[in-house]
Each structure stands twice: as structure tokens, then as C-alpha cells.
Chains A and B, each alone.
Chain A
Amino acid sequence: LRLCSKAPHSATREANLAALAASRQRLLQADGEDLGQEDELADELRAFCARHALWPHGTETLVLRHFRVGGRGLAAAADLSAGDTVLAVPESLLLSSERLSSYDGLAAALSAAAGDSLHDDVRLSLALLLEIARDQAGAWAEYCRFLPERPPSALHWASRQLQRLAHTPLVGRVTAAREALREAHAALFPALSLALPQLFPPASFSWRRFLWAYTVVQTRGLVVGGGAEPRARRTVLAPVADLLNYSPTSPLAWPSLEAA
């Protein structure tokens, strides 16, 4: 709202402000509850959760729905009580940048291509693409159908869309972030594909795929762990859990979950 208020007066600005105000109003109204529509992939997600034991005690707790604001998300499958555990993601399905160390020769190849300066989010993006490319029948390749083709990140905006926010700090930040990501990709590829052709087939690690994976991390990564030790914190991708309010436009009037 603050960024939008600072934009120059225009029809777009007024429309954006009205949409944001309406969204805020819905959060404040008790009768503004959006129960969403059935999602076409609801059965597939149910099967995924059952197959990978994501529901505690085998009881169905969540259902995939399509919400008017925020799109695809998770709803309670039945009345749930405070304290109920609704989702448990096993360690084998969690993806963090540490997964990269399980590939022989990758640490050396990464270091040769990009030094030790790679951001953890870039490393996690690589881990995601590797996981999908490595095992076509694996859980992450299977889970891809629930991930958006175009995650809601400003990095995907066309310059025409960015220009609507001209005169805000956002334009410079988005441009710089895209440029830094392009440089990271250019440092890694084709170097990694030449060094480890079996692991990095070029088609699976194009700029387009790389940007997609990075924006998945950006919009769906969860920062977990660490406790009192910030250096022990890490970003993980957790299937199904990432559907809990992934969208920046989702209503937040129901703050009901914590990660433990």
C-alpha cells in the first residue's frame, strides 16, 4: 500500500489502491470468508499426501482449493482444533542447498565456476532443478505439477509492468536482482554442463528454467531451524507446505500455523 500510494497519480494507481483496500476490507469482515472453489488437482494432491505419509496418523487434514484471492491453496478438510498437527513433511522430501553435497564432484565444479560466492537461494534453486532432472519418477518431479509455471515474483514482470511502479525504489531493485541472477547463471552455465554433462543437461538448466526455480525458492522457501543460532538457519522447500499461503495477495486474516 505504501509503495502504491507513492506512485504517480494515474488510473492504474487508483485501480491498484482500490483493489488493495478491498482486499484489506475482506480481511476485516467476519462474513467475508472465502471458502474457495474445488481445485482440479485436489485428487492428485490427496494421493500425493497419502503416498508420502504427509498426514499425521493417516487422517486427511487438508484439501486443495482454489481461492478467489491468492489462487491455489490449502483448506481444512474438516473442523480442526487448536494444537492439531495438520501436516508433517518427512526429511527425505525436504530440499535444501545441502542436497548439492550428495553429488560427486559437484562441490569442486561449483567452486571452479563461481567461487564460493553463490547465494544459498541460488544453490537451492540448482538443487531443485537437479532433483527434477535426476529422478523423473521422484517425489519432486511428481510435485512439480502443483508448482506454478510463473511464481508471483517481480522477477517475472515485463518491463511494461515494472514501469507502472516508476518512481518507486522497486524498479531499481528488481532490475538489479534480475541482473545479478543473470550473472550467476552465466557463471554456472555452460561451465557446469561441460564439467558434469550427465548431471547438467543444458535443456534442464536454461536461463528460463533457472529463473523459474529461483522464483519458486523466493516465493515458497521456508526459513527453518537455528533457534538461538542464526547461522544454523536454512531455507528449505517443503512439498505441500509451500501451498500454505504462498501468494503475496492471499488473505492473512487467519494466522493459524507455525512451523516447528
Chain B
Amino acid sequence: TLALTFRLLSAVPAGRQLCLYY
């Protein structure tokens, strides 16, 4: 199936913006 999951490559503190890494 084509479900997408997004997993963190590094820790992110609360409030910090998340970006996709291509």
C-alpha cells in the first residue's frame, strides 16, 4: 500500500520548524 510515514533524522526541540530533506 502507498501510505506515507515521516520519520525524524535528528532530534528536534519543541517549537522548531520541520523540513523535508530531499
Contact = CB atoms under 8 A, between A and B. Distances in A.
Given A256-B21, A257-B21, A258-B21, A87 B6 contact: yes
A70 B6 CA distance: 21
A88 B3 contact: yes
Contacts of A75: 14-18
Chain B facing A: main interface SS: loop
B13 A76 contact: yes
B4 A255 contact: no
A80 B19 contact: no
Interface string B1-15: 111111111111111
A21 interface: no
Contact of B18 (A85, A222, A244): A244
Contacts of A58: none
B12 A80 contact: yes
Given A81-B11, A254-B12, A245 B6 contact: no
A78 interface: yes
A4 to B, nearest CB: 22
Interface string A56-85: 100000100101001001111111111111
A90 B20 CA distance: 18
Contact of A255 (B1, B3, B9, B14): B9
B2 A225 contact: yes
B16 A241 contact: no
A65 B14 CA distance: 12
A257 B2 contact: no
A252 to B, nearest CB: 6
Nearest to A34: B17
Interface of A: 33-36, 56, 62, 65, 67, 70, 73-91, 94, 96, 222, 224-225, 236, 238, 241, 244-245, 250-252, 254-260
17 contacts: A74-B18, A78-B14, A82-B10, A83-B8, A88-B3, A89-B5, A222-B20, A224-B2, A244-B18, A244-B20, A245-B17, A255-B19, A255-B21, A256-B12, A257-B7, A257-B9, A260-B6
